[in-house]
Amino acid sequence: MMAGRPFMALGLFGALLLAAGGIVYSIEGELGPIALGLIWAGLLALLLFFYVHFTTFRDLIAKRSTKYGVNMAFMIAVFLVIMSLIGVMSVRYKVRLDLTETRRYSLSAQTVKILRSLDQEVEAIAFYRSDERTRQAMYDLLAEYAYHSPSFKFWFVDPDKKPLEAAKYGVTSYRTTLIRSAGNQETVGFESEGKVTTALIRATRGKVKTAYFLTGHGERNFKDGERSGYAAAKQAIEKEHYRVAELLLVGDQGVPDDAAVLVVAGPKKDLLPAELEKIAAYIKGNGKLLFLADPGPTPSVSAFLEGYGFTVGHDIVVDKRSRMIGANYLFPVVVNYNQDHMVTRDFSLVTFFPIARSVSVEENSAKGTYNLAQTGTSSWAMTKGKIDEDNVEFDPTKDRRGPINLVSVLVTKDGEGLNGTEKAKGSKAERVQRWGKIAVVGDSDFASNAHLNLMGNKDLFLNLLNWLTEETALISVRGKEPGLTPLTMTETQGRIAFWLSVIIAPTLALAVGIGVIARRRREG
């Protein structure tokens, strides 16, 4: 009996060596010399233990209690197989719910829409060290992209372990992710949904479209960083992968052929007939026009837009509901949107239009004419001259009770209409073929630096732009960057935490419990 004790200790020591080797392998991620040595030593010790106690094991197997134990072990194994099958089914057919405060594990509706519309393969190659602190954050983000599209594939490369792979793609720094598609390649340097989505758009779209802003009439300036400027709008447009440029219609110059859209943002002076003729020619040739028309005396502009079917009011919209947000009455609030048009379909954000005029069009889905955004019943269109911003009253003889429409769109395809330039010049109205798209908003201040980031203003502005340029996959509500940074761990730290919390602590508690029960039975 005394001679068998060393071999009993040898069996326990072998089991410990085997467990230690498995833990080292799990943490390091590869079967290195230390892990392999521990596992081999443990196996030798266990083989010697079983050889010495072969007779004891043979007698133990022949016992009735052992047969019951084997039967119980078999039932446990069946139970584990069933649970494994349930786990596999849950992985293949799953419903996920993100309950984090900052929607950490959810992509924006726009990103999901882009991923689901992918018609070409996209691959993301992330170059991170195995112990990089931010590696897990990027992995979680790319996993979300792959979850929403089978066309999106990703993998990680450790530049230290595979320097030739990094050199192959020309990567010289850590924390770099390449988005590749159809021969195009974009680089992402941070773990940000916005940056990854922008790179995805650039890689899949290829050609960069140009948005021209008309100048020369006191329009909003996208270089202006003051409250009334459009610097924030320019930055938002560029994030949608557009190039922004100025356009001055002078001399023989017309709208450039590479113009994806022409934006006329709140001209303070009327456009010249020659300029309107150039814009009309651009629209007739499948051009796209976004006109932000502030209240003011611009008769040629009004006549031009009316020639295409728009009714531009010579008024100012008053909304008493704006008092609820601490603004004056000339700050209309919009919560009612046309759900039949893709620009505002499922759009539920509040938008604000400071000092706006009414805009409308006769709705006809067959001709592509829609009114998109209306104020509430507490608003009206005021037509009288002098206005007291803090004390206004509805005059039924002059004013028009709300709802008041502020945004209208029109598709000039396979239809006819009056040419606005001819009407503006006072000559005989001419029937012409109309092509292209036009969107008219009764306010330009809603997209200024001071108001662009108010609730849904930026989303509505960019949705109009993307609809005009036929980038329908980008029409959505954009995601907001999370305000909190979650705890991230390196791959090694994650494996240590897993073994401590999931393996070592529970098994240690189980072993202690079995030992206590065995001791009590022996003493009893």
CATH of 109-203, one of 3.30.70.1230, 3.40.30.10, 3.10.20.740, 3.30.70.360: 3.40.30.10
Contact 355, 295 (CB under 8 A): yes
> What tokens does 414 get?
């396979």
Residue in 523, 494, 506 with CA at minimum distance from that of residue 137: 494
pLDDT of amino acid 431: 39
Kind of pairing between the strands at 288-292 and 437-441: parallel
Which of 247-251, 319-323, 342-346, 398-402 has the least mean pLDDT?
319-323
pTM: 0.64
Contact 124, 152 (CB under 8 A): yes
pLDDT of amino acid 515: 74
The pLDDT of residue 3 is above 60: no
List the CATH code of the domain at 210-314+345-376+404-469: 3.40.50
Give the pLDDT band (50/70/90) at residue 390: low
pLDDT of amino acid 413: 61
* Distance in angstroms (rounded) separating the CA atoms of residues 380 and 400: 5
Which of 55-69, 301-315, 450-464, 472-486 has the least mean pLDDT?
472-486
pLDDT of amino acid 511: 76
- Burial of residue 414 (CB within 10 Å: 0-12, 13-18, 19+) is exposed
pLDDT of amino acid 177: 94
User: pLDDT, tens digit, for every residue of 124-175?
Assistant: 999 999 888 889 889 989 999 998 899 999 999 999 989 898 888 888 889 9
User: pLDDT, tens digit, for every residue of 477-518?
Assistant: 665 555 444 455 556 676 788 778 888 888 888 878 877 777
Average model confidence (pLDDT) across the chain = 82
pLDDT of amino acid 446: 94
* Distance in angstroms (rounded) separating the CA atoms of residues 388 and 237: 36
Give the pLDDT band (50/70/90) at residue 88: confident
Question: Which residue shows structure tokens 């195995």?
Answer: 130
Helix, strand or coil, per DSSP, at residue 44: helix
pLDDT of amino acid 256: 92
User: pLDDT, tens digit, for every residue of 273-300?
Assistant: 999 999 999 998 889 999 999 998 888 9
Q: Can you spell out the DSSP letters for 411-465?
A: E-SSEEEE-HHHHHHTS---EEEE-SEEEEES-SGGGSTTTTTSTTHHHHHHHHH
